[in-house]
Amino acid sequence: MAASLKEIEPKARVLTAEERAQPAEALLESLHSSISDIEAAWAREIGDRVAAFYCGETPAYATEDVFAKARHLSR
């Protein structure tokens, strides 16, 4: 059974700084790998959107029109 943060935190606080750093570094590393997965997914999505634009599958709008509509909707 996994321990909860409420159980782990008080035990971790009595450790030395070096001992606390080890699991902290491991947890941060696990976040970085998740972030890398997310960044890779966004890179694929961006590539797909750019390809769709250049193939004419996605419409383009003039910047002025977009901002004019946004101003209109925000009133």
pLDDT, tens digit, 9 for 90 and up, residues 35-70: 888 899 999 999 999 999 999 999 999 999 999 999
**Residue length of the chain:** 75
Query: Where do we find the tokens 């946004």?
Result: 70
Residue that wins the pLDDT comparison between 2 and 51:
51
Q: What is the pTM of this model?
A: 0.48
With beta carbons less than 8 A apart as the criterion, state whether 12 and 20 touch.
Answer: yes
Residue 1 binned pLDDT confidence (cut-offs 50, 70, 90): low
User: Which pLDDT value is given to residue 36?
Assistant: 86
Q: How far apart are the first and last CA of the chain?
A: 54
Residue 51 to residue 58: CA distance in whole angstroms: 9
Nearest partner of 23 among 9, 36, 7, 35, judged by Cα: 9
